[in-house]
A and B are shown apart, each in its own frame.
Chain A
Amino acid sequence: MDLSDAKKIVILGGGQAGAQAIQSLRMGGYEGELTLIGDEPSLPYQRPPLSKAYMKGEFAEERLFFKPAAWYEDNKVELILSTPASRIDRKNQIVEMAHGAHVEYDALVIATGSRPRSLPLDGADLENVHDLRGLSDVERIQPQMVEGRNMVIIGAGYIGLEAAAVARQMGLSATVLEMAPRVLARVTSPVMSEFYEAEHRRQGVDIRTNARLARLEGKDGKVTAAILEDGTSLPADLVLVGIGILPNEELANEAGIACNNGILVDRDARTSDPRIFAAGDCASRPLVHYGRSSRLESVHNAIEQGKLAAAAILGKPRPPEDCPWFWSDQYDLKLQIAGLSQGYDQIVVRGSPEDRKFAAFYLKNGTLIAVDAVNSAPEFLASKKLIMMGAKVEPDTLSDTTVSMKDIAAAAAA
């Protein structure tokens, strides 16, 4: 469907994807009505610092915002904040909001993001038990991050481990409970899990894998301890739950738009309704470098799909689809990840974990499909290129630190 004559565009959700769609539409010359409906009270902001520098208090709040308020005025973007949308009426092309008002659209971008999975255990609703997703969560958590207090973190994913690093740097005692036999089990290989587990232990984090949490205990409504199934009681002044996120796909689903663990979209971020697009955490998209579709929980994905949706609406050529990439900051370790490692049949390590500077490459049938690079930007950047080329690289070459990554990338491109 040609939407290039659209005069009313509505963006649902003011996260990274929604903010990008707005910018790309205006930068792309769109001059019609542009409305952002978001359920949070603040201007669109970046989330990554929330579990890193911002949580630690080293990053001023105003630096979180993508654009100052004046930008939205200058660019005639109508902001409807603190307002959840309640229904998408596709027949009449309107979005209804919780307070009863509605907005018409010629094209709609659903960028509703995701929400933290909640802890299905007794005590999860006690005071000082937190999720970490938005600015308001950090506003609640941060005043409680006081030296000497006990923080219990449930889930050893990136959010949990980043928060544990911040907690230690702020002088709290930190305990991480993970159900799986290793940390980061869902997202990376045993090599990396081992490295991060050892690092956190060295920094004084009490990491407990294979941990079976039974319940949270409290006094006067406030959490006081995490109780394991074997009876162990771990004192807790505050608890952070980081056990994964769920896509906010309900509005789309209820409107009859095809969903399957995420709103299904094509390469242009278009849903099963040709006037409606979905971008970011809530969308399940084709992964062109991997021949399958999936949700991706990342900044890169949100930005790229925001751009893809805007380009499709404006009838412009499809922007490049990069290989997926991610990063995580813990202590002085910068982890940069390119590609998706699921399905690898070989791991090659370059450099040495003891040096706190190494990379794990993931190959499938000899083709490089992903890399986890710790304090190793060349390995990350070269791998991005190699993965997009679908390059086969000899394991011995990858592990040979006397051959530069630049030379490896150049040889593959030749």
Chain B
Amino acid sequence: MAKITYIDHDGTERVVEAKNGETVMEAAVKNSIPGIDADCGGACACATCHVYVDQSFMDKVGEQQEMEKSMLDFAENVQENSRLSCQITISDELDGMRVTTPESQH
């Protein structure tokens, strides 16, 4: 289990109890967090679950695969802490992580 805080682009915070094994995207969608579309359901096929990861957790969220890297390259407003949330799997280590959603996924 990990408490994840989702912050939308205007600063509203929502805290979710995410289960180990599910992804940061799935925890968001199941809890109706706005700002994450995830059209492909987590297949790394659509690049509509872009989030900014809290800097202090960047070393805990795992490495980016090449597919994710090249998908993100085409997202809007990419930063160095940009990730596709369907590619980050929840573990106890991520407890307390804060992620921010971009203004738009398109």
- Chain B residues positioned under 8 Å from A320 (CB to CB): 106
Considering only residues 331-381 of chain A, those with a C-beta below 8 Å from chain B are: 334, 336, 375-378, 381
> CB within 8 A of B47: which of A27, A334, A375, A381?
A381
Q: Decide yes or no whether B17 CB sits under 8 A from chain A.
A: no
Q: Mark B54-92, 1 if CB is under 8 A from A, else 0.
A: 000000000000010011011000000000000000000
Contact of A327 among B34, B40, B70, B106 (CB under 8 A): B40
Instruction: Please give, as numbers and ranges, the residues of chain B lying within 8 Å of A376 by CB-CB distance.
Output: 70
Known A303-B39, A320-B106; judge A334-B74 contact (CB<8 A): no
Give the CA-CA distance A204 to B21 in the complex, in Å: 32
Q: What is the interface of chain B mostly: helix, strand, loop, or mixed?
A: loop
CA distance A375 to B42 in the complex (A): 16
- CB contacts (< 8 Å) of A377 on chain B: these are 47, 67, 70-71, 73-74
Query: How long is the Cα–Cα vector from A33 to B70 in the complex, in angstroms?
Result: 43
Given contacts A27-B34, A67-B30, A320-B106, contact A381 B74 (CB under 8 A): yes
Residue of chain B at shortest CB distance from A382 = B74
The distance in angstroms between the C-alpha atoms of A37 and B43, with both chains bound, is 28
Contact of B45 among A27, A46, A303, A334 (CB under 8 A): A334
Which residue, B45, B47, B71, has most C-beta atoms of chain A within 10 A? B45
- Would B106 and A378 count as touching, CB distance under 8 A? no
Q: Convert B1-29 into 0s and 1s, putting 1 for each residue whose CB lies closer than 8 angstroms to a CB of A.
A: 00000000000000000000110001001
In which size bucket is the chain B interface? 20 to 34
Q: Which residues of chain B are within 8 angstroms of A134 by Cβ–Cβ distance?
A: none
* Complex interface: chain B residues within 8 A of A300 (CB): 39, 46
Task: Specify which chain A residues have a CB less than 8 angstroms from the CB of B46 in the assembled complex.
Answer: 300, 325
Q: Does A66 contact B (CB under 8 A)?
A: yes
- What's the least CB distance linking B1 to chain A, in Å? 15
How far apart are the CA atoms of A375 and B67 in the complex, in Å? 7
Q: Which residue of B lies closest to A68 (CB)?
A: B30
CB neighbors of B among A42-90 (8 A): 46, 48-49, 52, 60, 63, 66-68, 71
Query: Does the CB pair A63–B22 fall under 8 Å?
Result: yes
B74 touches A406 (CB 8 A): yes
Given the interface pairs A27-B34, A63-B26, A377-B67, the reply to whether A49 lies near B41 with Cβ below 8 Å is yes
A329 to B22, CA, bound (A): 20
Are A406 and B45 touching (Cβ within 8 A)? no
With a cutoff of 8 Å between Cβ atoms, the chain A residues found around residue B32 in the complex are: 27, 67, 71
* Neighbouring B residues of A207 by C-beta, 8 Å: none
User: Which range holds the interface residue count of chain A?
Assistant: 20 to 34
Q: Mark A314-331, 1 if CB is under 8 A from B, else 0.
A: 000000100001010100
Interface status of A25 (Cβ within 8 A of chain B): no
When the two chains form the complex, which single residue of A27, A60, A66, A406 contacts B21, counting CB atoms closer than 8 Å?
Answer: A60
CA distance A60 to B23 in the complex (A): 12
Partner of A406 from the list B26, B34, B67, B73 (CB cut-off 8 Å) is: B73
Q: Do A378 and B73 form a contact, CB below 8 Å, given A48-B40, A49-B41, A299-B40? A: yes
Partner of B41, one of A27, A48, A382: A48
Taking the closest CB of chain A, its distance from the CB of B50, in whole angstroms, is 12
When distances are taken between beta carbons in the complex, the residues of chain B under 8 Å from A303 are: 39
Question: From residue B32, how far is it (CB to closest CB) to chain A in Å?
Answer: 7
Distance (whole angstroms) from the CB of A164 to the closest CB of chain B: 19
For the complex, give the distance between the alpha carbons of A83 and B47 in Å. Answer: 35
Using CB atoms, name the residue of chain B closest to A47: B41
Residues B29 and A66 in contact, CB atoms below 8 Å apart: yes
Q: How far is the CB of B69 from chain A (nearest CB, A)?
A: 9
Task: Provide the residues of chain A in CB contact with B21, threshold 8 Å.
Answer: 60
Chain B: CB-nearest residue to A329 = B43
Q: With A63-B26, A71-B30, A71-B32 known to touch, is A378 a contact of B40 (CB < 8 Å)?
A: no
The residues of A that contact B45 with a CB separation of less than 8 Å are 327, 334, 336
Ordered by A's residue number, 26 sampled pairs between the chains whose C-beta atoms are within 8 Å are A49-B41, A60-B21, A63-B22, A63-B42, A67-B30, A67-B32, A68-B30, A71-B30, A299-B41, A300-B46, A303-B39, A320-B106, A325-B46, A327-B43, A329-B43, A334-B43, A334-B45, A375-B67, A376-B70, A377-B47, A377-B70, A377-B74, A381-B47, A381-B74, A382-B74, A406-B73
Q: Which 7 A-B pairs have the closest CB atoms?
A: A381-B74, A327-B45, A377-B70, A46-B41, A377-B71, A378-B70, A303-B39
B contacts, CB < 8 Å to A: 21-22, 26, 29-30, 32, 34, 39-47, 67, 70-71, 73-74, 106
Task: Add 20 more A-B contacts to A299-B39, A334-B43 (CB < 8 A).
Answer: A27-B34, A48-B40, A60-B21, A63-B22, A63-B42, A66-B29, A67-B29, A67-B30, A67-B32, A320-B106, A327-B43, A329-B43, A334-B67, A336-B45, A377-B47, A377-B67, A377-B71, A377-B73, A381-B47, A381-B74
